[in-house]
Every structure is written in C-alpha cells, then in structure tokens.
Structure 1
Amino acid sequence: MESPTAPTGPTGPTVPLRFGLLGPPRGWRGNAELDLGSPQQRALLAVLLLREGAPVSAPELVSAVWDGDPPPRALGTLRTYASRLRRLFEPERGPGRPPEILVTVGGGYALRVPPDALDTRRFTRLVAEAEKADTDGDLARARGLLDEALGLWRGEALAGVPGPHAEAQRLRLTERRVAAQVSGLDLDIRLGRHAAAVGGLRRLVAEYPLRERPRELLMLALYRSGRPADALDVYLDARRVLVDELGIEPGPVLTAMHRRVLAASSPAPAASERPAQLPAAVADFTGRTAQVAELRRVLAGGGTATVAGTAGVGKSALALRVAHLLRPDHPDGQLYADLHGAHERPADPHPVLGAFLKSLGVAPEAVPNDLADRTALLRRVLAGRRVLMLLDDARDTAQILPLLPAAPGATVIVTGRYRLDALDGAHSLDLDVFTPDESRELLVRIAGTDRTDAEPDAVRELLEACGHLPLAVRVAAARLAARPGWTVRSLVDRLADRRRRLAELRVADLAVEAVFQLGYSRLGPASRRAFRLLALPDGPSFSVPAAAALLAVPRERAAE
C-alpha cells in the first residue's frame, strides 16, 4: 500500500498515516502497523474514516458503535476510544497541544487524513480513472486500472466490525467491488480475451446466482470461445434459478443473448466482430452540459436521436461525446459513418452498409449486392446485440433509413444540418451556438489565461465577433495560441472588417469559411439569393414579415 504525502504540523512534518477498510480494518503509522484496539474502537474509526473528514456527532457515533444498545456510560467510553486513537496517531503530541488528526468538532469528532491515506478512496479514484480510459477507448489501460483497484481488497470489507451500520457499509463497498469485477471481465471480452474471462465469470455467477449481467457476459465469453452449447447451459441454469427463487423469467438482455447463441451457425465470432469505429472524442470538449444530459437520458434504453444545427455549431463533437459516454452500455460494439451530407456528393448507403456488415464479421462474399438485401442482413446480424451507431453529417432521411437497425437494444445518433422530422420515433435536438460562458471557457482552455484574464473587454468583443459559433471560437483561440506575441485586442482588430472576417478565421486545416461554403454549394438558385439578401440586415435575427418583405415573397413562403 503506497504511502500518502505526510502532512505538515506546527512542529514539522508528521509521520504519514494509512488505513485499510477493504478487509479487516488496519492502520499504519509510517511502516509500523497500529493496534486499533477492540471491535467497538475499530467501529468508531471506521465510521470516521468513511465520512472522509466530515464531522460526526456523538449520538450518531454511539448509535453506530453500539447498534442502538449503548452501555450506561457510552459517551465516556466514546471519549476514551477517541483518546486512545489520538495517542496512536500522534504519540509525540505534548500536553496542552490540540490534536490535528482526530479533532473535536462541536459535540462530535472528525478524522483529518489525506484522501489517499484510505484504501476505499484510492479504490474509488482508480475505478473512475478506468471508466474515463474506457470512454477514451484505451481498453488495456482501463483493465490495468481496474486490476490495481481490485488489488487493494484483502478480503471482506470491514471484516470483524460489528453492528448494522458496519454491515450496511460492507454491503455498499461489496457492490462497488462486484461492479468493478464485472467491468473488468467485460473489458477482457472486449479485448478478445474470451477464454480468460470464463473462470472469473463462473466465480461471480456462483457467488451471485440471481444477477443476470455476469451470466450474460459468461454466455458471451463461452460463445466467442467456440462453446455455444456451454453458453446455452448457462441460460438454462439462469432460467431455472430465477423461476425457482423469484418466480420470474430471465430479462430481455439475457433472453436476447440466448436467441443470438441459438441462431448462430458458426462456433464463435472473431474478436473483430465487435467493431470499435468511433473516432476519438474531442479532447477539450466544452459546455453542452444540458444537451449531453438530455441525449443520455433519451438514449438510456436504446433508440434514435438526431442532432441538427448550422455549420460549425459542434454537432459532431456533441454526438461523439455522448457516444463515448454510452459505449459501456453497448458491449457489442460501435459503428460509425461520415455521410458527407453537406458535400456535393453525399455518401451512398450501399457501400456504407457493406462496410458495416464486414466489420460485423460477414464474409465479403456473403454481402449481398442489392441495397434492400444489405439492409435486411444488417438488421438480422444486429438482432439481439447492443450496438451503438453514429451517423455523422446526414443529408436527409432517405440517406439514413437503409442504415438503421431494427433491434430494440440498438442506439443510433444522427447529426445533420437540417432536422429529420420524417424519421419516425426519433428524438430531435436542435443545437444552437455557445452561451457566452461556454465560448469564454473554450477560448481560455485553448489560448490560456494570461491574455484572456488581462483583456476581458477584448475577449467579450472577440467572442461576439465569432458569433459564439464553436468552430469560430476554436479557430480564434488556436490563432492566439499559435501567436504568443498577439494580444486579444490585435485579433479583434483583424476581425473588425466583416468582409475579411471569414478569411481571418482560418488556422491550419480549420476554416469557418470552408464549412459555410459546403452548405452554400448545396443550395438552389432561389435559396442562394435568399441567403445573400438575408445577410444584408444588421442584427442576429429578424421577423418573418421582415424576411418576406426583403425577399419579396409571401409570409408563408418566407417562414419555410
């Protein structure tokens, strides 16, 4: 167990303390193990440690330590336990010097130790880092972090600590351990280590026979190890246990896995049949908190969502962010296609379907030539699988309909410049430009704080000149970052000429003008004329009557 940084007291550095609750409670001062005393004294210590520095009142401590049946002089005994622990933690503390570690707060106590001094907090941190690595696509690192987290456990949490409070905490910690074990074995399968995952999954199934997720993963691992008959036996055993113990049938996910194994004509798919096609998420993704939460909520059980918005507003960045967050819920893979909807020649669904099918393990010679046949085959292959599909920059509904799976567990995110209202059952999200706070956050993250903090007025003018369009803000920030000698005001001055503004918003291969040019090239003659005329008035918006008068068309036509 690694040592936390030693805190510094009034008389110099103190000897670092470490504690372990992921097993029988243990404590160390430096390299020397501490005698933590009686079970009740250990219970007191455990309560304070799990509160992570927050004060706990004396009545609450009495209730937790003695299970609601305290001795006659419980408060006095509590003070005795606290005094003994203080001597353990700070043996050099002289008379009259207040304690610095186990402190009195109001009518209770608080334990002040560094976060990494407690194994439960290190476990939580490592699991969170593993989840982020998984989201970022680094599966091997995620597995290593989970191994490190699970290696902190020395047996049953809080072993030997009496009382219902300790039991409740023990159950809570055990749930987190099981969740980490399941996540690690899921990663093994996703990394192609199917046979290696079988043993760990069998142990989890034996220990928690009513949990369906370990059984689902065990079926998948056996199936992909070339053992479909054993996978079917796992389902039959699960059904027997659930019916006998709870009087219920297996849930839809386990049933879908059963159908998938039954329908298989080959022993097992290869590891490549779990596609992982998502591009990397934007490293400095900024803002959009409400939109991310909305998409995660509506897609929690599968389904389709569309994200529409103007060029450069960040549709793809938002969709990728959400897709990576949803990846753990889709263990059968992710499919991605850039449909080039804004280009003069958008992607044809026919070759996109062929690429999807091959990535899912369909032999090239088995991919049909007919578009409808390809769609039907894709839907059969995806039946019973939990797959996430991201269709980026769609042109219209007709382009994406052949690509959509029919499986209820599949999740589809579609981005495009126009709303796809004809897409039945899809949730639509219209993405607007950044708020001023989001714009400033992105500018600061890329360009740094030195110039932005020194020139707040110029920052506001720069972001207004960018129209709070995420792509424009990103380009402006990148220009500042690439030119340390520029002030923010100097860039504002360069953007002052509206006729030159788009030309200035260019850096490397990022150009605001280019994305607008793509959209403009798609417009017909009448729409191009309308675009030019509507650009004449000052101000960010205008009414339908004003637009009708400017375009010399009826109001109904202008509203369209």
Structure 2
Amino acid sequence: MDGVPRVPEQRSPEQSATLRFGVLGPVRAWRGEEPLATGSPQQRALLAALLLREGRTATAAELIDALWGEEPPSQALAAVRTYASRLRKVLDAGVLVSESGGYAVRGLGEGALDLAVAQEWAARAEKARTAGDLCRAREVLGRALALWDGEALAGVPGPYAEAQRVRLEEWRLQLLETRLDMDLEQGCHAEAVSELTALTAAHPLRERLRELLMLALYRSGRQAEALAVYADTRRLLADELGVDPRPELRELQQRILRADPALAEPSSPAAEPAAAPVRPAQLPATVPDFTGRSSFVTELGEVLSSAEGRVMAVSAVAGIGGVGKTTLAVHVAHRARAAFPDGQLYVDLQGTGPRAAEPETVLGSFLRALGTPDAAVPESLEDRAALYRSVLDGRRVLVLLDNARDAAQVRPLLPGTEGCAALVTSRVRMVDLAGAHLVDLDVMSPEEALQLFTRIVGEERVASEREAALDVVAACGFLPLAIRIAASRLAA
C-alpha cells in the first residue's frame, strides 16, 4: 500500500497479520497490510507516547503531562482512559495493558515499530563503516533513512510529541550527514552537490552540511563556488548568531585556498570526524533573591572545587521537604560553573513521587546530552553506566541529581573520573553513599527567614509591621518554601 513504511525484511505468510506501527511520519498502525484507525490527534498522541517508551509503563499523570503540558483540561484523566479504551479495541488483545495506574504497550514483535527498525539499521551501518565496508554501510544507512515518511509524529499535538519531533529530526539529520560523508569518501561528489545544496537551504545554520557542500563542490572542480559557500556561511552566522564559523570550516576554507592536494581525493575509509564535544548547560535558573545559608554555600563550594584533585566530589544535601535543598544546590552549582567548563547536567529524580526516575532512563538522557547518538546508547543499565563514565573521562562536568530517592538510585549516575563532581539532594541522609560529603539542611534561622520575607514583600512594608512579619515566618515554620509562598501572595 502506498505510503506505508516497510520493515526492510521479507515476511512469511504467518507474519502477515502482525501489528506494525509507524512514528517516523504520521502515527499509524497496521495489522498485516490493513491500516488501523488510530483515532483523533489526541488519541494518536497517547499511542505515540506509549510506543516511544519501548514497553515501559507511563502513569496517567505522565500521559496527561505529555498530551497537555501544564494546562490540562478538567477531564484529562477521563479523556486518557477513553483514548486507552478505544485503542485497546483496535489493537490485538494484550498489547495495550493497564499497570500500576498507568498504561504500556507490550508484546510487539521484532521490527514492529519503524523507529526500532531504523535504530537497528543505523547500528549495523556504523559497524560496517568501522569495519571499512563503506558500500554496505551506505546501503544499510539508506534503508534506515528511507523509513522516514515526512515529519516524524506529524500532526500529533502535545509537548511530549513536540520534544520527540525535535529529537527525531536531529537524529535524521545526523544520519544524513553520515551518509553524505560516506558518499564523498567513495567519490560521489557530483551526485552529492544537489542534495547538499537543498539541505543547506533547508538548514542554513547547520555547519556540518555546509562543510560537506564545500568539499563536494571543490572535488567537482568548482573551487570558487566552494569558497562562496564559506563566505555566505560566515556572513549568515555573524548576522544571525554573532559568531564565527567553527574551526573545521575555517580550516577547510584555508585548505581550499592553498589547493591542498589531500582534498582532491577521497580520504580512506575511516570513522566520521569527531564533532566538538557537546557542553550541556542544564542547570535550572537560580532564584534572584537567594538568602542566607552562607556557611552551606561556602562549604559546598569548597567541596566542589576540590573535584580536580579527587576521583569525584559528592555532596549529599539532606533535609525535609520545603527546607530549600534544591534552591541551595542550584545556587551553589551556578557559583561553581566556572570550575566545570565541560558542562553541567541536571535531573529531577522524583524520589518523593509515586514513580521515581529509573537510572537507565536518566543515563540515556545524559548520554544524549553529552553528544552520544541514539543508536550508540546501550540497552542495559550496566552498559549505559559504563559508557557514561567513559564519555566523562577527561572532562570536567558537574552533575546535579535533585530529589533522589536513595543511594541505589544515585550510584549509577555518579561520574567516576577525576575533575567531575556530583551534587545530590534528598530527603534521606545518604550515609550508605561511599565517600559522600553529607550536609544536613535545617530550617532557616529567624533572621534569615525574615530577610527572605523582606526581599519578597519589600523593606518598607516589613519595617512598619515587623512583629507581624516575624509571626508570619514563624507560622511558616521558618521553611523557605512556605515563606516564599506566603510572601509572594502578600506581595501580589
């Protein structure tokens, strides 16, 4: 049937009625060759969210957030249940299961999801390229790219779908760049020029595409046009972003000007040139009216600054809810950013919620933030943790693990190399976290509490009603969160 992505393997007659799903385009489902009705856009958004979780359970709250974000309708939970009930009637029995107040898609056959097939082809292509078999690598990578049928998750609403669309488009472009790089390695310069010209027009700020276009033009005997691409890139980056082209692009321009003989012939099969290391900057914004805690700020700052001479510095900040653990940790992390020039990672581990974040999920997110392609992210927790420590080797990165459930959740997320540091917040005192520098955070002193209250409400108002202000902060139990809420309401 036209427009149906094909899993690139021959199917036996016994497999003809198996379920297949597509997300690399509109969200669609088939039983064998028969298309299935996936319902309204919101219903397709629910199906997409479950398919992309690869069998893991999504709670009702997570699905509501995925479909509507911060402003769900009043009947959001009922709507989710209705969508799930309708999908269950369309799909095979036992595919969409209810579990722990949430839902999951289970029991799919191998190759049932086009994204999983594309990931498998991309991994095979990388192996073939590493082995020096460029012909095989190009063929297999072409199969992966052929599975896209327009924009991924096309027409699917909700913040989760939008984030996944961006992720999948970025991955598609990375695969395209890799395939085009292999085209040039095999001498297909003229053929690559037209495709690269169209791609650079569609993605004008993507420097790797422009670098490949310059090389393809030069090898096609079009030196002046190759230099014109560089001039256009430099002008565009300056106008749009106020930056210069990356060093690789500048070096290529100089080599073209010198007519470097090494540029005239394709390079021998080799791994794709390594991109500049990704420097994540994931810290949440610090509050502008941070108050007090000066001894803790100094103490934690000193521990983090000592990371250079130790395997790692772990500061576990413990305290009751609302005492200001996250605010303190984020403030300290921002002050220490200069000591960690290779980036800062952040995650809310949701340790106090009904479903704490799984370490393997967090590691997958961290690895991608550090520049690891999706296809290179391993499946198991142990392999992801090992790759994570390897990626951090030689870098100076600060990891802020907020709202941890326990030490077991934290251990796989700790960097293991000299120069990195981790800052952990939790309601429990992590005495079983080996080598941790423990900080017990209590409520604010009356003076600090009143100072925070004054910064939010205003000095003039507090000065005229000092006793009343003291009563308010005392009624808040000297907890920063409660004080901030009460003061903000008064200020408003």
- TM-score w.r.t. the length of structure 1 is 0.46
2:273 counterpart residue number: 329
1:135 counterpart residue number: 130
Q: Where does structure 1 lack aligned partners over 5 or more consecutive residues?
A: 7-11, 91-98, 277-323, 332-560
1:264 alignment partner AA = A
SS at match of 1:117: coil
1:213 counterpart residue number: 208
Say which of 246, 252, 256 aligns to 2:247.
Answer: 252
1:2 counterpart residue number: 7
Per the TM alignment, residue 65 of structure 1 is displaced from its structure 2 partner at its CA by 1.5
Contact 2:67-2:159 at 8 Å conserved across structures: no
1:202 alignment partner AA = T
What aligned pairs does 1:493-532 form with structure 2 within 5 A after superposition? Answer: none
Identity %: 52
2:91 counterpart residue number: 89
CA change 1:264–1:250 in 2 (3 A) is same
Matched, 1:186 2:181: yes
1:145 counterpart residue number: 140
2:38 counterpart residue number: 36
> Structure 1 CA distance, aligned partners of 2:96 and 2:9?
17
> Structure 2 CA distance, aligned partners of 1:107 and 1:4?
37
Per the TM alignment, residue 275 of structure 1 is displaced from its structure 2 partner at its CA by 3.7
What do the CA deviations read for 1:246-265 (whole angstroms, capped 9, x no partner)?
A: 11111110000000010117
Contact 1:119-1:152 at 8 Å conserved across structures: yes
> Structure 2 CA distance, aligned partners of 1:34 and 1:3?
20
> Structure 2 CA distance, aligned partners of 1:155 and 1:14?
25
What do the CA deviations read for 1:306-350 (whole angstroms, capped 9, x no partner)?
A: xxxxxxxxxxxxxxxxxx6xx22279xxxxxxxxxxxxxxxxxxx
Contact 2:27-2:48 at 8 Å conserved across structures: yes
Contact 2:8-2:143 at 8 Å conserved across structures: no
Structure 1 runs of 4+ aligned residues shifted over 4 Å read 3-6, 265-268
Per the TM alignment, residue 66 of structure 1 is displaced from its structure 2 partner at its CA by 2.2
> Structure 2 CA distance, aligned partners of 1:255 and 1:212?
11
Matched, 1:242 2:242: no
1:100 counterpart residue number: 94
What aligned pairs does 1:262-277 form with structure 2 within 5 A after superposition? Answer: 262-264=257-259, 269-271=264-266, 274-276=267-269
1:18 counterpart residue number: 20
What do the CA deviations read for 1:359-384 (whole angstroms, capped 9, x no partner)?
A: xxxxxxxxxxxxxxxxxxxxxxxxxx
Contact 2:60-2:102 at 8 Å conserved across structures: yes
What aligned pairs does 1:406-421 form with structure 2 within 5 A after superposition? Answer: none
SS at match of 2:64: helix
What aligned pairs does 1:269-308 form with structure 2 within 5 A after superposition? Answer: 269-271=264-266, 274-276=267-269
Contact 1:232-1:258 at 8 Å conserved across structures: yes
Q: Where does structure 2 lack aligned partners over 5 or more consecutive residues?
A: 1-5, 276-492
2:293 counterpart residue number: none
Larger Rg: 1
Per the TM alignment, residue 115 of structure 1 is displaced from its structure 2 partner at its CA by 4.2
Per the TM alignment, residue 31 of structure 1 is displaced from its structure 2 partner at its CA by 1.6
Per the TM alignment, residue 63 of structure 1 is displaced from its structure 2 partner at its CA by 1.3
1:79 counterpart residue number: 81
What do the CA deviations read for 1:464-503 (whole angstroms, capped 9, x no partner)?
A: xxxxxxxxxxxxxxxxxxxxxxxxxxxxxxxxxxxxxxxx
2:47 counterpart residue number: 45
Say which of 54, 63, 68 aligns to 2:70.
Answer: 68
> Structure 2 CA distance, aligned partners of 1:164 and 1:120?
19
CA change 1:145–1:3 in 2 (3 A) is closer
CA change 1:2–1:57 in 2 (3 A) is same
SS at match of 1:155: coil
1:364 counterpart residue number: none
- TM-score w.r.t. the length of structure 2 is 0.52
What do the CA deviations read for 1:205-239 (whole angstroms, capped 9, x no partner)?
A: 11111111111111111111111111000000000
Per the TM alignment, residue 202 of structure 1 is displaced from its structure 2 partner at its CA by 1.1
> Structure 1 CA distance, aligned partners of 2:9 and 2:102?
26
Q: CA RMSD in A?
A: 2.5
SS at match of 1:116: coil
Aligned residues: 268
Contact 1:22-1:154 at 8 Å conserved across structures: yes
Per the TM alignment, residue 15 of structure 1 is displaced from its structure 2 partner at its CA by 3.7
CA change 1:225–1:267 in 2 (3 A) is farther
CA change 1:4–1:60 in 2 (3 A) is farther
> Structure 2 CA distance, aligned partners of 1:28 and 1:3?
15
2:76 alignment partner AA = A
Contact 1:21-1:120 at 8 Å conserved across structures: yes
CA change 1:13–1:225 in 2 (3 A) is closer
2:74 alignment partner AA = P
Per the TM alignment, residue 77 of structure 1 is displaced from its structure 2 partner at its CA by 1.8
CA change 1:132–1:173 in 2 (3 A) is same
Contact 2:193-2:217 at 8 Å conserved across structures: yes
> Structure 2 CA distance, aligned partners of 1:76 and 1:20?
26
Contact 1:130-1:146 at 8 Å conserved across structures: yes
